Structure 1
């Protein structure tokens, strides 16, 4: 999870190459290559949303390759990794070791494995990357070694990108400011770039983050102050993004599909089809079949599986819209602070403030599901 910095340097487009890195061989000339970026936040429901890319055999999908940067706000280097990955260079985390915090477990894992969070991409949980017949479609870390630990596998990843697919899709929670992505949006960029901006009720995100921090990570209440500060910065950036996208004359608006988690979770097939239509892609049976499975009852509860990135869970409207209201995890002071600091973002995205005394009264709605939001 990244804490965006207001003082971070603005990206200089000249520092981001708009052509293939020099190591490239000629890519398939018959069609302009495509690059898709799912831009979102920690605990936003992006694992579910990202599966519409992950389960498509026509895409090469990477789950959070920017995790190597941890909380380090290094926008130019992040842009460099994204650009090279779009151009079929494997996102080898070891190339960015100087930007990794060795005290963060996520970045340590990235350096040990080479490719961050490889186990959450179905392609790397099956041959030729993994030959274990017991490997699941995702979460295959126990059965499959990282493709980044083997230079031959890294080269094969690049061959797949160049010769077998025409689209690279990446999910990230570490690059939330759409304005900084302008070099990719530019018409001069040699790859057909589009983004999907996924937002979620900040109260729900905070509830989920706190539940994991206090439960699975055995943290304490005092440490939640840092989470609140990060959430406030994220709300500010999301509000800026939504205002940017409201101007239909901008490149960002024309090339970005914005969507709420609350909408896609309630009707994943409908909204996945809408996103595919926006991207100009065919909504195939693999994607449709997975999304049907994703809303089936879970085999394990979250606290049993110890998995923080999962899609196999029972999904119902009460949980989607009001899960944060069903317990005491979010304190009255935290609720007031979130609703105050995130008020602009909430208003733009259709999230309604709730008074503490009405928190458990589910007849009082907290998400406006009647009004049109985003691209629909």
Structure 2
């Protein structure tokens, strides 16, 4: 009993001493150390140094608590001590968790399974090391199927398969869309008669940078040394090849078209001239019109054609729409046919004016109205119209009418309608060209050029009233009554009407550019 009293007394004395020492430390020493530590921390700039200084300043507190804990362990190691004494400090401090972990260590084989799960749970905290490992796996899984078999999880496999299929489907769809867009190439064919303003209208395509413009391709068939080319069969083959940019099989015609002297393709087709310019030798005396090698000409021209958004063809030598019907029925070409017509009185007057320049593309020069020529012109104007049934019923979906007089009165507005028809955005180059070429040129040479494009269309479309006599006008009207009625042109009944400039014989705008 006495021994027990002494041990209790020693314990109380020790507690008192330790408590006093602790009280003095917290009241005197620790505030000075804390102030010094705070001051020291503020002096350092780097975060790593600041953390180290804080740890060193608080090391004394940890050592004091460890000293007290060790002493209590030594004094309470006897069997007479209470069991609750060691438990209180153990639960109060983080140190007693170690004996709990020691107890769980024998369950190592059981805990071995959850331990690999800890890195999975720890992913949110150490993002850099954990994500660094799966990141290459993710990139591997995005690739084709081999990595799908390596992944054992169902969720991973299903996700990988899904992500692998999506790019393939997108690529497949894009490939189909590209193939469809290539097959459905738009081709615009402006068919008209001589001296109907076709050169002027053709320039609205020639000035567009995305147009592959072809000027009078049938001329190459009519003037080729091989006369067998001048037939409806080759008209179809030649126009179809130009429309869908497949030049194989028409190399002979293509070479003649690009290199012949008479037509002057390079002066009228911007896209073709730009292509041929890449092959010319400008250091020689004769650089050549279009010196593309014969063996590669079809491929080179075809690729240049495909690089443009659409094909535009202007021709005055297409008497019938039969070759165009076969092209329209070809599922690979989106064909648009624009029939450009002009008042036959204006057409005949313009042809007669060529005699003054000793120029004519007709068989013979003549300065009088030729009835056969007038009849041929007006028959062409009437027989190539779309019908609800019969041979021309197919034109309903492909045909548009453009009157030269309507275009002359509103060139910008009808130009925009034409590009809406083609489903291609217009270009500023076209607008600029129209603004500079719809006024009479100040140069005498350009004004006298019968094939010039710098003219006032509104003035030009009324010149026939000065150039033709009343007798000539009435002769044309008698032959072309059906054509005049069909296209809404008014008749002249007297000399005074013919000379009256305020009289309008063209009526309102009747161009049918909105026909689908």
Cα 1:194–1:202 shift into 2, 3 Å: same
Tell me which of the two structures has the higher relative contact order, counting C-alpha pairs closer than 8 angstroms and 6 or more residues apart. 1
Cα 1:361–1:43 shift into 2, 3 Å: same
Contact 2:489-2:507 within 8 A present in 1 as well:
yes
Which residue is equivalent to 1:178?
321
Q: Secondary structure at the match of 1:147?
A: coil
Contact 1:37-1:194 within 8 A present in 2 as well:
yes
1:61 equivalent in alignment to 2:213:
yes
TM-score, normalised to structure 1, is 0.73
Q: Give the count of matched residue pairs.
A: 322
Higher mean C-alpha displacement, 274-283 vs 170-179: 170-179
Which residue is equivalent to 1:158?
302
Q: Deviations over 1:115-149 (max 9, x none)?
A: 763320122444662699xxxxxxxxxx9853277
Measured in 2, the distance between the counterparts of 1:320 and 1:245 equals 35
Cα 1:180–1:33 shift into 2, 3 Å: closer
Which residue is equivalent to 1:342?
480
Residue 367 of structure 1: which of 483, 492, 506 is its match? 506
TM-score, normalised to structure 2, is 0.55
What is the deviation of 1:173? 0.5
The structure where helix makes up a greater share of residues is 2
Measured in 2, the distance between the counterparts of 1:222 and 1:159 equals 42
What is the deviation of 1:195? 1.0
Which residue is equivalent to 2:271?
123
Contact 1:114-1:149 within 8 A present in 2 as well:
no
Higher mean C-alpha displacement, 338-347 vs 228-237: 228-237
What is the deviation of 1:316? 5.5
Contact 1:61-1:169 within 8 A present in 2 as well:
yes
Higher mean C-alpha displacement, 28-37 vs 336-345: 28-37
Measured in 1, the distance between the counterparts of 2:370 and 2:222 equals 15
Cα 1:91–1:148 shift into 2, 3 Å: farther
Q: Secondary structure at the match of 1:336?
A: helix
Q: Deviations over 1:144-168 (max 9, x none)?
A: 8532776466653222113x12421
Which residue is equivalent to 2:465?
325
Which residue is equivalent to 2:245?
88
User: Structure 2: which 5+ runs fail to align?
Assistant: 1-177, 281-285
Measured in 1, the distance between the counterparts of 2:235 and 2:250 equals 11
What is the deviation of 1:255? 1.2
Q: Secondary structure at the match of 2:218?
A: helix
Cα 1:348–1:246 shift into 2, 3 Å: farther
Structure number, greater radius of gyration? 2
Which residue is equivalent to 1:167?
310
Measured in 2, the distance between the counterparts of 1:237 and 1:366 equals 21
Which residue is equivalent to 2:427?
284
What is the deviation of 1:349? 0.6
Q: Secondary structure at the match of 1:242?
A: coil
Q: Deviations over 1:65-96 (max 9, x none)?
A: 11134499732221221012123245999835
What is the deviation of 1:351? 1.1
Q: Secondary structure at the match of 1:34?
A: strand
Which residue is equivalent to 1:50?
202
What is the deviation of 1:355? 2.7
Which residue is equivalent to 1:33?
185
Measured in 2, the distance between the counterparts of 1:230 and 1:198 equals 18
What is the deviation of 1:275? 1.0
Root mean square deviation, CA, Å: 3.8
